[in-house]
Chains A and B, each alone.
Chain A
Amino acid sequence: MSDVSFVRTEMLAEQAPPATSVGVVGWLRANLFSSWLNTILTIISLGFIWYILAGLIPWVFQSVWNANSLTECREIMAATWGKTHGHACWAVINERWLQLLYGFYPPYPITPEVNVGDSTGFLPAYLRPNLAMVLFLVAVAPVLYSDIVPRQLLIVTAAYPFLLPWLMWGGTIWAPIMVAAGLGIGYLGYRFLSPVIGALGGVILAILLPVIWWMFLSGAVAGAIDSVIPIGIAEVESRKFGGLMLAVLLGIVAIGVSLPIGIVLALGRQSDLLIVKGLCVGFIEFIRGVPLITLLFVASTLLNIFMPPGTNFDIILRVMIMMTLFAAAYMAEVIRGGLAALPKGQYEGADSLGLNYWQAQRLIIMPQALKISIPGIVSTFIGIFKDTTLVSIIGLLDPIGLSQGIRSNAAWNGIYWELFAFIALVFFVCCFSMSRYSMYLERKLRTDHR
């Protein structure tokens, strides 16, 4: 009987894991070929991806960029590759991309003197819509990235609602200033008259005074000041708006306005005041019960019939109002979801601190409710931005509407996928950025410890 017991006394040196479980091979084995079923699925998927890319990549990259018509495109394709199928004719984008982006917006409406089609000015083309877009980014930066961007930029944010219409539609600068002055008048009225006639009277006056100002006085005052100190830029009619610019404009307004309205509606729906609650529930349920297309048709045709003939109620403004109301109703429900998700203790905690209703909302309830609602809010934003393409049905020339206009030129009749591909790409970039931002925001605001 031999004694062969063995006790290791020293540690073995660490060894590299087997070659089949590290690196690329290891990753492939773990993720793609871990079992027979997964291996089969991987092979099928790879085949499918190859099938798609084999068609798509030549179509996208073996393409014609310079031609004046579809026929010319086909001639070039036949001369280069021998067949005309499977190659994109990007020449249509090359010729019409400015139109797809800006519609018929005149490139040079800077001052009343330098107007449509005059490229002799020193200012770059499409300055106004581009500037409006840049200012939009500046205006939202302090809101979106509040920890990086200085708070002073909030001045731009406050001014932007008045700058945007002025930049886009033009006209005298006094009109937006006078509209802004209405808010000041309301505030002053509240400040100085509420001690005299009581709080409720003050609130009513604060609403009534600006409305009177806007309805009867602001236009006349703006005109009077303009005749003394004329500062203005060339006016652009709504009919000239189109392309992606129109979609973005509708999207910005609908998104920007629907969020505050949505918050108010959500709070109203939870209110104990019967009339307020009834109004909010009625509005939300009515708007959500009606398709957006119906609202757009109301905006474009029904309102026309109701109003006296010759009334000039801007079609884009009508569409903006309808899209905003539509988005606000959905926004209200998303935010109500956030409110409902808050534990009751939060409300009671706010009460026990002695905060009044608005303080509690501002300091305790809303920051948490909005944080919970971020994915839903951004989904609504993305949805409403994509819904802007529906306006092509009522004859507005958004990118989809313009694509029909482009196809109806004899030179480009018959072109199909290229236009949709371009529009899809542009929309994807916009929607994907919004989606990524919402993920960033969720990470930044995450206060739980996971």
Chain B
Amino acid sequence: MKKSVFLGALTIAGLAAGAVAAGTLDDVKARGKLNCGVSTGLVGFAAPDANGEWTGFDVTVCRAVAAAVLNDASAVEFVPTTGKTRFTALASGEVDMLARNTTWTFSRDVDLKFEFVGVNYYDGQGFMVPKDLGVSSAKELDGATVCIQTGTTTELNLADFFRSNNISYEPVPIETNAEAQQQYLAGACDVYTTDASGLAATRATFESPGDHVLLPEIISKEPLGPLVRHGDNEWGDVVRWTLNAMITAEELGVTSANMGELAAGTNNPEINRLLGTEGTLGEMLGLDAEWAQRVLAVGGNYGEIFEKNIGESTPIGLARGLNAQWTDGGLLYSPPFR
């Protein structure tokens, strides 16, 4: 019984230690650490390395926010969340923000009371089939067995797609991506469907990636982005403009390499406002003038982060596609820094 009593005492101590939350920004500053919800592991987006250091595309967003607010990109407590626990973790205040490839949908935004601050990756659901199957379009998949991760929006999208095209399929429910790879390679299903970025990452791990093709159809819109709780707009602004700073920096040609030079002052007023040598944007945000410089010092601008984590030089090898700047025909479009 001794142990249980002790645990009870610890419980009460823990309860007593809790304090009523003020603004999240002040909380984070007071705590000196940002609690950031990430995935328990998704290739290219969030993964712990051999030393327990988290790296990846989503992780960089967390680090950038920490750099902006706390002046320390390593002052982040990464909280691994699963698809089932992520929203409660955010709603209950266990994490300050979620950067966990979460699709921005109406119900999550409105009903679950979250605020998606932007989109850091435009994804869409695709199909992968073995080349031998001789299929060139998803509409030819009548009667196919499909490996699908349960409990995700992909499951619903798949049902919608097959119903609207009047064809049938047989689902093979799968829990994790790793399991899906095994099932697909073992021939338990003809088709594997998930987000196109996930398919590309999965195909890259195959011994002979050339034997498998991604079908051209993208059957859903999956805008993935960081999110915060409803009702704390100051904090939402910080996260939103941290993301926008990375996107704008790429548009303006500010990179981690030339930032020091540009920070001395340029003829481009928007660059000056971004880097804090002109105007008082940082002050309006509740931060100092150099906040965006620190954001960019973490991993560079959006394009650099993309290339480093998931771009064509990595094993995942994703093309920019929809995630190119609007000036290059993509969807990335940050509101101006003014």
Contacts and interface: CB of A to CB of B under 8 A. Distances in A.
B259 interface: no
A304 B88 contact: yes
Given A99-B50, A317-B7, A311 B2 contact: no
Interface string B253-270: 000000000000000000
Q: Is the interface of B mostly helix, strand, loop or mixed?
A: mixed
A84 B85 CA distance: 38
A102 B91 CA distance: 30
Interface stretch (B37-45, B102-110, B122-130, B189-197): B37-45
Interface in B281-306: none
A237 B137 CA distance: 51
A397 interface: yes
A394 B207 contact: no
Interface stretch (A33-41, A214-222, A355-363, A440-448): A214-222
Given A310-B20, A313-B18, A409 B47 contact: yes
Given A96-B50, A260-B1, A301-B85, A409 B11 contact: no
A309 B16 CA distance: 12
Contacts of A154: none
B42 A408 contact: yes
5 contacts: A103-B52, A182-B5, A317-B10, A410-B43, A416-B181
A15 B40 CA distance: 72
B214 interface: no
Nearest to B27: A310
A251 interface: no
A194 B41 CA distance: 58
Nearest to B2: A161
Interface stretch (A23-31, A123-131, A399-407): A399-407
A95 B7 contact: no
B88 A261 contact: no
A312 interface: yes
B84 interface: yes
B132 interface: no
Interface of B: 1-21, 27, 39-44, 46-52, 77-82, 84-85, 88-89, 91-94, 176, 178, 181-182, 201-202, 204-207, 314-316
A210 B5 contact: yes
A408 B41 contact: yes
Given A182-B9, A309-B93, A410 B44 contact: yes
Contacts of B204: 410, 413
B11 A317 contact: yes
Contacts of A210: 5
Given A307-B92, A313-B14, A413-B43, 6 more contacts: A70-B205, A215-B9, A309-B20, A312-B17, A314-B10, A414-B181
A287 interface: no
B82 A394 contact: yes
B11 A408 contact: no
B31 to A, nearest CB: 10
B25 to A, nearest CB: 14
B178 to A, nearest CB: 5
Interface in A401-450: 401-402, 404-411, 413-414, 416
A441 B196 CA distance: 57
A240 B42 CA distance: 19
Contacts of A416: 178, 181-182
A104 interface: yes
B178 A179 contact: no
B7 A320 contact: yes
Closest 7 A/B residue pairs (Cβ) = A414-B205, A408-B41, A311-B18, A304-B92, A104-B52, A214-B9, A301-B88
Interface of A: 70-71, 74, 84, 95-96, 99, 103-104, 117, 161-162, 165, 176, 179, 182-183, 210, 214-215, 218-219, 237, 239-240, 253, 256-257, 260-261, 264, 297, 300-302, 304-305, 307-314, 317, 320-321, 324, 392-397, 401-402, 404-411, 413-414, 416
B266 to A, nearest CB: 36
A257 B12 contact: no
A309 B9 contact: no
B92 A305 contact: yes
A415 B78 CA distance: 24
Between A312, A405, A413, the greatest number of chain B beta carbons within 10 A of the residue's beta carbon is seen for A413
Given A99-B50, A214-B9, A395-B81, A324 B4 contact: yes
Given A210-B5, A410-B316, A312 B46 contact: no
Given A260-B1, A408-B41, A104 B205 contact: no
Contacts of A165: 6, 10
Contacts of B201: 410, 413
A314 B14 contact: yes
A397 B82 CA distance: 11
A162 B5 CA distance: 11
Nearest to B310: A410
Contacts of B41: 404-408
Contacts of A74: 207
Contact of A393 (B8, B9, B52, B84): B84
A249 to B, nearest CB: 12
A307 B16 CA distance: 11
A219 B18 CA distance: 14
Contacts of A394: 82, 84-85
Contacts of B182: 416
A104 B80 contact: no
A18 B205 CA distance: 62
Contact of B14 (A317, A406, A408): A317
Nearest to B45: A408
Contacts of B43: 407-410, 413
